[in-house]
Structure 1
Amino acid sequence: MVVAVDAEGYGRGDDLRHDSIQSGLAQVMDRGAREAGLRREIWTRQEAGDGEVIVLPQGEPELRVIDDLVRRVRKALHDHNRERRDDARLRIRIAIGHGVVKRGAMGFVGQVVVTTCRLLNAQAARTALKENPRADLVLTLTDLLYEDVVRQLHTSYRPESFIRLEVPTKERTEIAWMWIPSEDLDQKGTLNMDNLPEVADTLWALIAGGALERLGAYGTESGLGGARKLLAKIKEFRSEQGRPADPESRDDLLESLEELVRVDAAVKQFAQQFNADQMTVNLISAPISGEEINFGIRN
């Protein structure tokens, strides 16, 4: 799998701006990969100052790259840009393709690299970022990835949220699909597909830490109504599918949650309640995997 990334407005900046973009992009990509459960340190990367072309090794989950990585990078961009002026924000284009790649004498060799970079630099992607000033990124997928992955509902994206593109090249016209985020990440107490990884993170930490079993003694059970209902629905759904009722990991939990939200409106309501609980109630501080994780009000 090939991922290409490019920052907007690099050529217009001075040296200080170039340094800010480079350091910001590195931080955003590092955080996005880490929070998506990916191993950026084993990626093969070809850097270009204002961006990079990445070839992911076998073993890196492709669905997580297309879905979790993009959404986590978007959240990292949002946090990075929160206190910056509009003209100082870091905004990027991402393109993803799939195919055979090898190392050449001066870089990557493979048709998928050529195609992915053409989609990254397509005028349609540049225009989309310019005409959607509140968006921190735009994503373009090759036609193959869209048809095989997004349209078949293997990700949390809604297929209808993508825009079909025709990208002219010297050899032919490439069909591609572009996604422009539209939801406001600052909107509290709402649920969209971008929130689901965070819902899974918090719910899994509560499960792993035994918080759901012991919270009654602390008098805070009212803040976890959504969590209990949500977990009960997930267990019921998994049992109906012939799977173990209890998720085995955070990723297993997220997969079930994404599947369930698509088919059960009540689950979306429970998840929304749980999401709102985390915004308004200081629920618990529990040690998970050796780290202190705070749930509830976020500063």
Structure 2
Amino acid sequence: MMLDSDFSRRLVVAVDAEGYGRGDDLRHDSIQSGLAQVMDRGAREAGLRRETWARQEAGDGEVIVLPQGEPELRVIDDLVHRVRKALHDHNRERRDDARLRIRIAIGHGVVKRGAMGFVGQVVVTTCRLRDAEAARTALKMNPRADLVLVLTDRLYEEVVRQLHTSYRPESFTRLEVPTKERTEVAWMWIPSEDLGQKGTLDMDNLPEVADTLWALIAGGALERLGAYGTETGLGGARKLFAKIKEFRSEQGRPAAPESRDDLLRSLEELVRVDAAVKQFAQQFNADQMTVNLISAPISGEEINFGIRN
């Protein structure tokens, strides 16, 4: 994408892979291809168009300037969690010394495309936060974490602290990052749970839960449970859906999600603030059955939906 020649206010994302300088040529190639795949998948699953981003690549990372109008909350929240899930899948079968682990920093400010790259203090600041010693140390001290996120003070105060995202404000650590000009205040987030842990509702199985639950919602199965006497085994689905509707209503949104992606975003937000949702989802995932939606044709066909762990 061509960035405007004039300065404009944009969201800036800086990404860097751990341990690139210590690797050989094959390791460098693996990191570069892995990072590209992870970022591509994360953007796609977050509903973002990576091909519209202005990007400045640097082998072990990149600096991204998002287009004007790109949903800010989706970048700060959805993109990070989708990239985290993609990293988890990428690293699943790899040795610890071959895992791809990254630092992400996000800022917002005035930027333009210069003769040899991006120009703007927000780019300098965001890259410094990404490369801060505290962020590097945090990744080393948390060997099971696949990423570390650093936000500028302004983004944290205006977006996270005001509860516009699924992050808990108290899960961030305040940083003071010294620079040549001043000390930058920033906020760092380190994932605290293992995506591979079984029996919980987390980013590893949320898309699968959303797929199955949306099929039941769209087919009208939850409304017909009582009439068809098939409530046994779907109690978790009904409780989970009721909790989602209650949560959305409290936020002033329509109670019922409008799409599978809308449902998934609500699940991602809700699971971080309500422990009961995890219990309902565990019941939902534990239900081993097939629900025959006899009167719910989709595209003219009758569909059987299997709910499995």
What is the TM-score normalised by the length of structure 2?
A: 0.82
- Helix, strand or coil at the partner of 2:297: strand
Task: Assess, with a 3 A threshold, how the Cα gap between structure 1 residues 107 and 84 changes in structure 2: closer, same or farther.
Answer: same
Q: Please, which moves more after superposition, 167-176 or 233-242?
A: 233-242
1:191-228 Cα offsets, whole Å, 9 max, x none, are 35776566445433443355546889999864432111
Per-residue deviation, 1:253: 2.9
Match of 1:45 among 17, 40, 55: 55
Q: Which has the larger radius of gyration?
A: 2
Task: Assess, with a 3 A threshold, how the Cα gap between structure 1 residues 292 and 197 changes in structure 2: closer, same or farther.
Answer: farther
Partner of 1:7: 17
- Helix, strand or coil at the partner of 2:148: strand
C-alpha separation in 2, matches of 1:124 and 1:291 = 56
Per-residue deviation, 1:234: 3.0
Q: Please, which moves more after superposition, 72-81 or 198-207?
A: 198-207
Per-residue deviation, 1:131: 1.1
1:46-77 Cα offsets, whole Å, 9 max, x none, are 11010000111123211111111111111111
The answer as to whether partners of 1:223 and 1:283 remain within 8 angstroms in 2 is no
Per-residue deviation, 1:99: 1.1
C-alpha separation in 2, matches of 1:240 and 1:53 = 37
Q: Please, which moves more after superposition, 225-234 or 238-247?
A: 238-247
Per-residue deviation, 1:190: 1.2
C-alpha separation in 1, matches of 2:67 and 2:248 = 31
C-alpha separation in 1, matches of 2:100 and 2:269 = 32
User: How many equivalent residue pairs?
Assistant: 299
Task: Assess, with a 3 A threshold, how the Cα gap between structure 1 residues 30 and 284 changes in structure 2: closer, same or farther.
Answer: farther
What is the TM-score normalised by the length of structure 1?
A: 0.84
The answer as to whether partners of 1:81 and 1:89 remain within 8 angstroms in 2 is yes
Per-residue deviation, 1:274: 2.6
- Helix, strand or coil at the partner of 2:302: strand
Per-residue deviation, 1:272: 3.9
C-alpha separation in 1, matches of 2:302 and 2:95 = 33
Task: Assess, with a 3 A threshold, how the Cα gap between structure 1 residues 208 and 149 changes in structure 2: closer, same or farther.
Answer: same
The answer as to whether partners of 1:209 and 1:287 remain within 8 angstroms in 2 is yes
Per-residue deviation, 1:117: 0.2
Task: Identify the structure with the greater helix proportion.
Answer: 1
Per-residue deviation, 1:24: 0.4
Which blocks of at least 5 consecutive residues in structure 2 are unaligned?
Answer: 1-10
The share of aligned pairs that are identical, in percent, is: 94
Task: Assess, with a 3 A threshold, how the Cα gap between structure 1 residues 14 and 138 changes in structure 2: closer, same or farther.
Answer: same
The answer as to whether partners of 2:287 and 2:308 remain within 8 angstroms in 1 is no
